[in-house]
Structure 1
Amino acid sequence: VLRPTLVRTGGRVYRKNLIQEQPFPREEEEDFCAGPGDCADDDPCDAFVVEETERGFQSRVEVPSPFYKYIIGKKGETKKRLETETRTSISIPKPGVEGEIVITGQQRSGVVSARTRIDVLLDSFRKKQPFTHFLSFALNQPAIQEKFLQFKEEVLEKCSQDHGVSSSLFQNPAKLHLTLGTLVLLNEQEIQKACDLLQQCKEDFVDQITGGKPLTVEVAGVEYMNDDPAMTDVLYAKVRMKDGSDRLQVIADQLVERFVASGLMLKEWDRVKLHATVMNTLFRKDPTEERNNTMTGKSSFKERESFNGRNILKLFENFYFGEVQLDSVRLSQRFSSDTSGYYATSGQL
């Protein structure tokens, strides 16, 4: 160490340090060993398939037809720019026809670049789309509806003089529910993918947690969403397991986690906030407005007329809406109704 070997190169002298190599256990080597299909230094890791063809390379991507226009761009400018900058050819189905976008090119790197940029565009535009479906537990059983109507009647009787309180704020009793998470599903393939995943969740963990039996929950008490009860936008009924366990919360969190991992849902919170909206200022603005999720539209909060919920919270703090058996999670369709008045169901477990 004190007298290292000197190496002369190109008129310069370098000191050669001794390096003691520590061999790693074989198990760790195997964990990180790069095989022929893994990423090389000069080859980007692809989360998609690039096929080699007689004329070069190609990649196929399933895209809902409403997104074609974003890839094409105004007067085809976006598509032309992508093709020019990546030296590829991008084939897009006709408007309204479901199919695959096919990217072809002589260089694999060009196809990968075009595909990556298209994926980024699609992800960006998907995040801007209003949700089309949501995972829900229905709370519209007759006994719950009856108690909800009693709640509405008593609130209007005792608190109608409070600022902003009116009958237009109340949820449609036939659509009372718990929302677990929202999804943007733009064609039948995406809806089917969500249905299949829901069924997979049932087999993987839901049946194990529930023991194959309905969950008995109590809907009792009210709470508000924002900071100031005098400026309330959303009032909701609280939901709890009758046996005091956290099984409902665990199922909700694991379902959302699985759907987020699949790319079908965006992660909003660390835990699902279990609540049943009973009053919402969005309903006042438009009676036909989706009475589903407290996060229906970000811009809507600016247009809301809040109500003073202090007396409601005081008088109905422990209002008992009833007990209900939850036996299925539904993939519910926004802006829809079935024969019971609840949201139309695309799939359920």
Structure 2
Amino acid sequence: MEILRPALVNIHGRIYRKNAVQEESYEEEEEEDYSYSEADAEQCLDEPCDAHDIQQTEKGFRCAIDVPSVLYKYIIGKKGETRKRLESETKTSISIPKQGVEGQIVVTGAHRAAVASAVTRVEVLIDSFRRKQPFTHFLSFALNSPQVQEGFLRFREQVLEHCGQDAGVEVSIFQNPAKLHLTIGTLALLNQQEVTRADELLQQCQRVIRDITEAKPLPVEVRGIEYMNDDPSLVDVLYATVALADGSDKLQQIADRLVECFVSAGLMERERDRVKLHGTVMNTLFRRDPSAEDRGASGRANMKDREAFNATNILQMFREVYFGAFDLNSVQISQRFSTDGTGYYSSAGHVTFS
């Protein structure tokens, strides 16, 4: 069935069929230790020449593609082997800027079809390794209103007082109250051009968002906690639940539409049919790194050496805990491992509901 239904790759709105191949591992610390197999060359089908912006020159044909500098090494390969093989198989020349210099990869060749083939192969190869990059930003709804922060601090104090002797429960695993948020989806934005593109896309979504909110802030209530695994005695994350005062699903609608928009643009990977809205209040990732962010539902969190905690008593005593209510009026592109003047994540772009 894998042959009949191969994986599809969305690159800049174009869909490619990707054959199943065994991918080689790449060590992060080895800047140019990358190889390229013949199977990689067959991952994509050559497409009509007009799919790319290929220009005719005096010496043949030319096509320039934007690629973040952190991904150059995957096209170069170990001792330049990947680039040499791509050039040999497509009868083209591939020019790559120096490492760390943002620019364009330029493919030139005597024939338009050869250039189109090389560009397609480069894009599919880049897409494969882009998916392995850690995310840099995420779409979020901020929950750090003064009322909710106050309720969270009260919750933390009571949990430590009544459940502080339970296995793994300690102050270090609680979220920073100034960074309470709902994660909508994660983004790997690898240079400033991609950050700008994401911001522009978010601005384009504002009209859709305001149609849902009727151009008004959404009154939200943060109440209750839940967990996602099936054993309350071995929990890694506890989430706060959020609901609208009018009982509607407008927040869910906004989140789902945003994900749909960013996935269609190739800036986000779809993780499930509907966004699981949740606000992390306790996370064992914080035990070792207080600056670690909620990984959402991306599955990218490192599960090695995580010490779970026993949340049985916490859930029994605080399942319906009330954190607070406020009017939510914006969604933003938040930057990981950053802090703005309010203590929340630095913003790379935002839009308001009203």
Pairwise TM-score range, normalised by the shorter structure:
0.7 to 0.9
Q: Residue 265 of structure 2 corresponds to which residue in structure 1?
A: 262
Q: In structure 2, how many angstroms separate the alpha carbons of the residues matched to 1:304 and 1:87?
A: 50
Q: In structure 2, how many angstroms separate the alpha carbons of the residues matched to 1:303 and 1:279?
A: 17
1:230 match: secondary structure: coil
Which stretch shows the higher mean deviation, 50-59 or 211-220?
50-59
The aligned amino acid for 1:83 is E
| Offset at residue 226 of structure 1 (A) | 1.1
* 102, 106, 111: which one aligns with 2:110: 106
Structure having the higher Rg: 1
Give TM-score scaled by structure 2 length. Answer: 0.83
* 218, 221, 234: which one aligns with 1:218: 221
1:291/1:275 CA distance change after superposition, 3 Å: same
User: Are 1:234 and 1:294, in contact at CA under 8 Å, matched by a contact in 2?
Assistant: no
* 57, 76, 79: which one aligns with 1:75: 79
Structure 1 residue 286 and structure 2 residue 296: aligned? no
Q: Residue 335 of structure 1 corresponds to which residue in structure 2?
A: 337
Which stretch shows the higher mean deviation, 66-75 or 331-340?
66-75
Structure 1 residue 156 and structure 2 residue 160: aligned? yes
Q: Residue 236 of structure 1 corresponds to which residue in structure 2?
A: 239
Q: In structure 2, how many angstroms separate the alpha carbons of the residues matched to 1:291 and 1:103?
A: 39
| Offset at residue 97 of structure 1 (A) | 1.7
2:279 match: secondary structure: strand
Structure 1: where are the runs of 5+ without partners? 1-41
1:250/1:47 CA distance change after superposition, 3 Å: farther
Say what the alpha-carbon RMSD is for the aligned residues.
Answer: 1.5
Q: Residue 123 of structure 1 corresponds to which residue in structure 2?
A: 127
Q: In structure 1, how many angstroms separate the alpha carbons of the residues matched to 2:255 and 2:298?
A: 19
Give TM-score scaled by structure 1 length. Answer: 0.85
* 72, 83, 90: which one aligns with 1:86: 90
Structure 1 residue 304 and structure 2 residue 306: aligned? yes
Q: In structure 2, how many angstroms separate the alpha carbons of the residues matched to 1:43 and 1:167?
A: 56
Q: In structure 1, how many angstroms separate the alpha carbons of the residues matched to 2:99 and 2:304?
A: 35
The aligned amino acid for 2:257 is Q
Q: In structure 2, how many angstroms separate the alpha carbons of the residues matched to 1:207 and 1:125?
A: 36
Q: Deviations over 1:169-210 (max 9, x none)?
A: 10000000011000011111101100000000002x111111
| Offset at residue 297 of structure 1 (A) | 6.4
Which stretch shows the higher mean deviation, 51-60 or 222-231?
51-60
User: Are 1:172 and 1:291, in contact at CA under 8 Å, matched by a contact in 2?
Assistant: no
Report matched runs for 1:143-182 at 5 Å. 143-182=147-186
The aligned amino acid for 1:303 is D
* 199, 202, 214: which one aligns with 1:198: 202
Structure 2: where are the runs of 5+ without partners? 1-45
Q: In structure 2, how many angstroms separate the alpha carbons of the residues matched to 1:302 and 1:97?
A: 35
2:205 match: secondary structure: helix
1:128/1:339 CA distance change after superposition, 3 Å: same
Q: Deviations over 1:227-251 (max 9, x none)?
A: 2111111100001111000110000
Instruction: Report sequence identity in percent.
Output: 62
Q: Residue 276 of structure 2 corresponds to which residue in structure 1?
A: 273
User: Are 1:140 and 1:175, in contact at CA under 8 Å, matched by a contact in 2?
Assistant: yes
Q: In structure 2, how many angstroms separate the alpha carbons of the residues matched to 1:261 and 1:141?
A: 32
User: Are 1:66 and 1:186, in contact at CA under 8 Å, matched by a contact in 2?
Assistant: yes
